[in-house]
Amino acid sequence: MNSPVRTVTVQPVKVSLPAAMMAVLRRDLQVSFRQRQDLFNPLLFFVIVVTLFPLGVSPEVSFLQLAGAGVLWVSALLATLLSLDSLFRHDFDDGTLEQLVLQPQPLYMLVLAKVAAHWLVTGLPLILLSPLLGVMVHLDGNSIAILCLTLLVGTPVLSLVGAIGAALTLGLRSGGVLLSLLIIPLYIPVLIFGTGTVAAAADGGSVSGHMALMGAMLVLAVTLAPLAAAASLRISLSNT
């Protein structure tokens, strides 16, 4: 006698939004630490540019104190830009990005988690290296502290705005060059206020106005940049 066939209904596993964001963050961090060349290249670039600047321009203490903050900020900006091309590239190549787009969770929140992972492996190490390099360019203690504070507020803006360009140029052959042309003009306000805050602190002025503007930029970037990056990802995937 034939036994009755049992039908098993598999219920889809519902994952909460915080759990999904933590999974994306954890995965990106693990991938970054496995591909150590992508992890160390921006840091080495940052150190090399700041180290070569006194040799190529002028080793005078007065000049380095005047231009040191700008050099550190420009170096941090370029180091962040150097790492942006790989923000979505690996997920695009192995098909993970398409799975992220199909998830029931909002894509802009998953993009925010990926940007947070990018900042943790790129922006945070730059901030930790800045005091040592600030001493190298003869900045005083107060200027170094303000510099680290501006980088702490400004580097997340660089990663968030850069995610938009990385999403727009995804899949293009010359995406790195086009990414630089798209993103560098958007970085200029952050660069101006970042270096201006350190200059104001060195002159003994108040930095509260500069920091308030940089904080406003960060809030605006956290609010709008993931939305723009998510829309750009959908556009890029639809064209491939």
In a domain, 132, yes or no: yes
Quote the pLDDT of residue 91: 83
How would you write the chain as a 3-class SS string? CCCCCCCCCCCCCCCCHHHHHHHHHHHHHHHHHHCHHHHHHHHHHHHHHHHHHHHHCCCCHHHHHHHHHHHHHHHHHHHHHHHHCCCCHHHHHHCHHHHHHHCCCCHHHHHHHHHHHHHHHCHHHHHHHHHHHHHHCCCCHHHHHHHHHHHHHHHHHHHHHHHHHHHHCCCCCCHHHHHHHHHHHHHHHHHHHHHHHHHHHHCCCCCHHHHHHHHHHHHHHHHHHHHHHHHHHHHHHHCC
Q: What's the pLDDT score for residue 202?
A: 84
pLDDT, mean of each 10-residue run, the chain (240 residues): 48 70 90 80 90 84 85 93 85 83 87 93 93 90 92 95 90 74 90 91 86 94 93 82
Q: For residue 168, what are the domain limits? A: 20-238
What's residue 164's pLDDT? 92
Residue 4 lies in a domain: no
Query: How many independent structural domains does the chain possess?
Result: 1
Inside any domain, residue 2:
no
Instruction: Indicate whether 11 belongs to any domain.
Output: no
Per-residue pLDDT at 12:
45
Residue 12 covered by a domain: no
Residue 133 forms part of a structural domain = yes
